[in-house]
Amino acid sequence: MVVSIETIYLIALIISGISILLYMLFGDFLDAAGDIFNPTLILAFITIASASGYLFEQYSSLNSILIFFLSCVIAFIIDTCLNIFVLIPISLAEESLAYTEQSLKGRVGKVITSIPKDGYGEVLIENASGRIAKPAAGLKNEAIQEGKAVIIVSIKNGVLYVSLYDDLY
């Protein structure tokens, strides 16, 4: 049984398309395996190479070996652009937007709701990705007026324990 090269390209395109859909649904399992390879780039390469190979075979009179190498070059260029201009910026943006409560320790904020003695107020912390408002209490149960600069000393149960920033320096 002889199979045409167009059929091989079409089968590769269908299989890579189905693989992309499965990866979108169950990709977290592969991400847990580690960063040995990037399935997104591999699947994109196969999809682009098989699609361009199929189109060249259907609509051009070029040699099949030349079409294969041309398809691989096109897929490599588009895959590289996808990685540089889409995937890398997205991965960097995700990291810069995330924060943990422990990463807030030592940061300076501004009291936006006065903190009464033995009570709770609110502190605003500004960073590159935006502003974070969190409930706060005085470290030594002291009252802190609205508009004062405070430093975050500790965090317990989602509450920032702060001290006046001026007191430290």
- Tell me the CATH number at 119: 2.40.50.140
**End position of a domain, from candidates 73, 97, 121:** 97
Co-location of 31 and 75 in the same domain: yes
**End position of a domain, from candidates 80, 97, 114:** 97
**End position of a domain, from candidates 97, 126, 143:** 97
Weakly modelled stretches of the chain, pLDDT under 70: 30-36, 94-99, 167-169
How many Å apart are CA 5 and CA 10, to the nearest integer? 9
79 neighbors 45 (Cβ within 8 angstroms): yes
Co-location of 23 and 78 in the same domain: yes
Chain segment 134-157, per-residue pLDDT in tens: 999 998 889 999 999 999 999 988
- Tell me the residue range of the domain where 80 lies: 5-97
Angle, helices 5-31 vs 39-59, to 10°: value is 170
Co-location of 44 and 26 in the same domain: yes
pLDDT reported for residue 33: 56
Co-location of 92 and 33 in the same domain: yes
